C-alpha cells in the first residue's frame, strides 16, 4: 500500500538507454514510471507492485521505501533544466496517483530526501516550487518563525518533516537545501530555517 511517491532523475544522456536499463533485469533497478523529456509517459511496473527504485534510506521513520512508494524517473542528465512537456506530464500523472492511493502532498519526496548523502536526485534544477503552487507537494517557506538557530534545532525540525536522523549535519543540510533552498550555500543560517515547510500532521 504505497504512501509515498519518490521522484528521481535518470542521470543518463540518452532516454532510450535509460528506458532499456530500467527494463533489463540484470541491472536490478526499476521504477513504476519514466517520463521522457518530450513528455511521453512509460509505465514499467504496476502501481500495486514493488519496484527497485529507492534503495537504502528512510522517510518519516519508515524504512524499506521500495515497498511503500511509487517511483517516477524523470529523463534528465542531472544538470539540465527539466523540459516543459516533461513537467506538464508530471503535473498530470501526480494528482491521479495521489488520488488513487490517498497520498498527501507531504508524501511526494525526492530521492535525495530519503537518502541524504547518497543520492542527489531529482537535483537542484527540479522545479519543486512549480508543483507546490498547484498543491502537489509541501510548500517551502511556510514554517513558523524559529528563534533558536542551533543545528540541533534544525535537525529536530528536519526530523519532524520526515528526514532521516542517522546522518551527519552536512548531509542533512545539503538534502534539505536541495529540496527547499537549492541556491543556498555556506553554514546553516536563518534563511535555511525560513525555507522549511510547515510541519504536517501527516508526519507528526
- Cα separation, 117 vs 167, in Å, equals 8
Q: Which amino acids are annotated catalytic?
A: 73
Phi-psi region of 46 (alpha: psi -120 to 50; beta: other; left: phi over 0): beta
How would you write the pLDDT of the chain (204 residues) with one tens digit per residue? 999 999 999 999 898 899 998 998 888 999 999 999 999 999 999 999 999 999 999 999 999 999 999 999 999 999 999 999 999 999 999 999 999 999 999 999 999 999 999 999 999 999 999 999 999 999 999 998 888 999 999 999 999 999 998 999 999 999 999 999 999 999 999 999 999 998 764 443
pTM over 0.85: yes
Q: For the chain, give the number of residues.
A: 204
CB atoms within 10 A of CB 130: 14
- Cα separation, 19 vs 73, in Å, equals 10
- Cα separation, 160 vs 182, in Å, equals 20
183 Cα distance to chain centroid: 17
Which DSSP letter does residue 74 get? E
Amino acid at each position: 500500500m504505497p504512501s509515498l511517491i519518490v521522484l528521481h532523475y535518470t542521470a543518463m544522456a540518452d532516454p532510450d538507454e535509460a528506458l532499456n536499463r530500467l527494463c533489463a533485469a540484470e541491472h536490478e533497478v526499476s521504477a513504476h514510471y519514466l517520463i521522457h523529456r518530450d513528455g511521453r509517459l512509460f509505465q514499467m511496473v504496476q502501481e500495486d507492485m514493488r519496484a527497485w527504485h529507492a534503495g537504502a534510506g528512510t522517510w518519516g521513520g519508515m524504512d524499506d521505501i521500495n515497498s511503500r512508494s511509487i517511483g517516477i524517473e524523470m529523463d534528465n542528465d542531472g544538470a539540465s533544466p527539466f523540459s516543459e512537456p516533461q513537467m506538464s506530464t508530471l503535473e498530470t500523472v501526480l494528482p491521479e496517483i495521489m488520488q488513487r492511493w490517498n497520498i498527501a502532498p507531504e508524501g511526494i519526496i525526492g530521492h535525495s530526501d530519503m537518502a541524504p548523502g547518497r543520492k542527489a536526485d531529482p537535483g537542484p534544477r527540479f522545479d519543486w516550487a512549480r508543483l507546490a503552487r498547484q498543491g502537489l507537494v509541501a510548500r517551502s517557506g511556510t514554517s513558523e518563525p524559529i528563534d533558536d538557530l542551533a543545528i540541533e534545532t534544525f535537525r529536530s525540525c528536519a526530523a519532524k518533516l520526515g528526514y532521516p536522523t542517522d546522518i551527519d549535519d552536512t548531509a542533512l543540510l545539503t538534502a534539505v537545501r536541495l529540496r527547499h533552498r537549492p541556491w543556498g550555500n555556506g553554514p546553516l543560517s536563518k534563511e535555511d530555517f525560513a525555507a522549511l515547510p510547515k510541519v504536517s500532521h501527516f508526519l507528526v
